[in-house]
Structure 1
Amino acid sequence: MLSRTFTLRPWSALDTRYDQLEVLATTVNPAGTPVTLLADTANAAIARPEPRGIPFPPEQPYDALLVIGQGDDRTEIPVSGLLFRFPHLDAWSGGFAVAKARNLAQRNYDPVKGDAGLLPHNIATFDLAGAQDGSFYAGDGIEVLSFDVGGTIWTSYFDEASAWLPVRQRRGRSETFEFGKDRVLVHMPGLIRWNRHGEILWAAVHDPMKVDWCDCYALNVGTHRTWACPYTGFPLVDIDEAGIRLVRRNPIRSSGAIAVDGSRAAFVGATADRIPGRYVVTECHLGDGAVEPVVAGPLAMPDGTNPPCWFRRKVARGGRIWVQFDDPRVWYLLQL
């Protein structure tokens, strides 16, 4: 296999006018635009409280500022009364959403009574004026919140996740399901696609013989397709609006980020020695069968040095992967 160095390039940096505000959450939206949720010191202390005991005190509302874009090409949206601590965030052309990863209050749900109104909502949707226009329950253990270009919401989950989901029945042999009113507790839900009203459009099916959705290690929400690389088997799962199109065997283990552009893909994972910041990128060919490695090599910063630490955040869309390190105000790009 050939060898080369894969070099990150600077993508965006938050304007210095926001230096007095703290970053609560940040991402890159489907248009490739940085999105950052900011708050002053007092509101940031509510949004990210220091642990003073377990459990945390009840959530309190806080105010924040959403910034979409950078430099002179940016939009500021004041947001009042946010409730979710340690938020996740994403935006699309018609609005934005804020989520909280841990939703432990779902334990109080009684499936016998079956009152879905008792499930605690942990995703809130907003219009571009900053007004909340909806909210819904999305389970506990959200790892990634990501919009696609059409405004539907993808949530991926880590291995301790669970969710009270509607009981579903498969329509024939397709990947399409019908969802009833009764709910069942699903452990390790893996990956779910929602509309903005909280209705499930597609959900992963845990099947160790095909796809083991223990933890959705890597997620790429592209324009018309989504790709996932779930633990423990790390297959490359190709998904469109109808469901899973193809599951490819993948020799690349423990990939934490994937870029896909046509018949090419790049997998980013830690090196075997697990030294913080040491990554190897493997570019591969995608056919109808297994993933075929073509070239591999280290990931480097723009100046040629090793990354300073593990990724703090990563977002993959199509052939591009954006990453952050210690500074939540700066994004770097790896592009196929």
Structure 2
Amino acid sequence: MRKTALMPYAHLPRAHHDRHVLTSTVDNFGAAHWLLGDHAPQPGGEVPPVDALVVSVHPGGSVELTELSAVRARWPHLNRLPDGGFVVAASRARRYEDFDQVQVFDALGSETSSFSVGDAIEHLLVDEAGQLWVGHFDENPAGIRRWSATGLPTWKSDDAHIPGLFDCYALNVTGAAAWACPYTDFPLVEIRPDRTDRPVRVWENRVRGARAVAVHGGRVAFYGGYGEEQDRLVHGELTETSVEQTDIGLLTPPEGSVAGRRRVVGRGSRIYVQAEPFTEWGVFDLSS
């Protein structure tokens, strides 16, 4: 089976390795961000607001630090807004936790607004216009939704006729578009809400369990799978109605196969991958 090595992309500066990585992501413009806290979150009970540090590594290697005041999410998602601010969202919206799930911070790290988008967030990705794309896992039937940075819903998958959308396994947001590969049928879905002609396109797909997807022209790549297939990389080509597989291999860290969990982000032709302890990002680019 052919192996493809991830290319090193960005790493958390060693000066910050004494902090706990709460979450990490790569934004629409290619900057990598780490949300750091003093301690790992503890399960159960109420979550006291804590101050957190965002370490941003931009393409080219420059580093930017932003202190966020009073972050409330125990298991957070992080993304950056085009104006330099940040969005932090709690993955779970518990009935006993009396606070808005999403916090919006300005470029100086002060909270400017908050709102809720629903329980069970699997993905939170911001597009080039500052719209928030949220993909839910199966404990919330909302599927996929898009929100403004002020908390107004701007698109929802309810009437999009996406087959078998019970869990948004993979979500890729690039420019103003989104691509998804949801459980249980795992179709490849292109979503362009602002396009009047066919805002949603669906391709039948036989790849099961992918956690990330990359698209470039008429080509597509699926990364991840069940059990021992967590590093599987499947290439395919788009026909009018389906994805035709062309190759199956492995996508491995630069130093070779390693054990542990993965964190993935899909952005256009790129799939960014982190392995524990989540201090480094590697990248696979389908356009290369």
Q: Does TM, normalized by the shorter one, top 0.5? A: yes
Other-structure match for 2:284: 334
Rounded to whole Å, the distance in 2 between the matches of 1:157 and 1:319 is: 23
Check if 1:75 corresponds to 2:73.
no
1:105/1:120 contact within 8 Å kept: no
- Alignment map for 1:297-336 (pairs within 5 Å): 297-303=249-255, 305-311=256-262, 313-336=263-286
Residue 15 of structure 1 deviates from its aligned partner by 0.6
Structure 1: give runs of 5+ residues left out of the alignment. 109-118, 162-187
Residue 133 of structure 1 deviates from its aligned partner by 1.3
Q: Which has the larger radius of gyration?
A: 1
Q: How many residues align?
A: 281
Rounded to whole Å, the distance in 2 between the matches of 1:315 and 1:4 is: 22
Check if 1:93 corresponds to 2:63.
no
Runs of 4+ in 1 over 6 A off after TM superposition: none
Q: 1:247 aligns with which of 170, 178, 202?
A: 202
1:119-155 Cα deviation digits (max 9, x unpaired): 8410011111111111111111111111111111011
- Alignment map for 1:110-125 (pairs within 5 Å): 120-125=99-104
Other-structure match for 1:136: 115
- Alignment map for 1:73-222 (pairs within 5 Å): 73-94=62-83, 95-105=85-95, 120-161=99-140, 188-205=141-158, 210-222=162-174
Rounded to whole Å, the distance in 1 between the matches of 2:275 and 2:27 is: 18
Identity of aligned residues (%): 34
TM-score by length of 2: 0.90
2:69/2:111 contact within 8 Å kept: no
1:206/1:213 contact within 8 Å kept: no
1:3-49 Cα deviation digits (max 9, x unpaired): 74322121111111112222112111111111111122xxx35xx12
Residue 210 of structure 1 deviates from its aligned partner by 4.4
1:30/1:147 contact within 8 Å kept: yes
2:223/2:230 contact within 8 Å kept: no
Residue 233 of structure 1 deviates from its aligned partner by 0.2
- Alignment map for 1:256-267 (pairs within 5 Å): 256-267=211-222
- Name whichever of 18-27 and 144-153 sits farther off: 18-27
1:96/1:126 contact within 8 Å kept: yes
Residue type of the partner of 2:128? V
Other-structure match for 1:63: 51
Rounded to whole Å, the distance in 1 between the matches of 2:20 and 2:279 is: 10
TM-score by length of 1: 0.78
Rounded to whole Å, the distance in 2 between the matches of 1:26 and 1:300 is: 19
Residues 82 and 249 from structure 1, CA distance in 2 versus in 1: closer, same or farther, beyond 3 angstroms? same
1:299/1:307 contact within 8 Å kept: no
1:42-69 Cα deviation digits (max 9, x unpaired): xx35xx12x4xxxx33321111111111
Residue 245 of structure 1 deviates from its aligned partner by 2.6
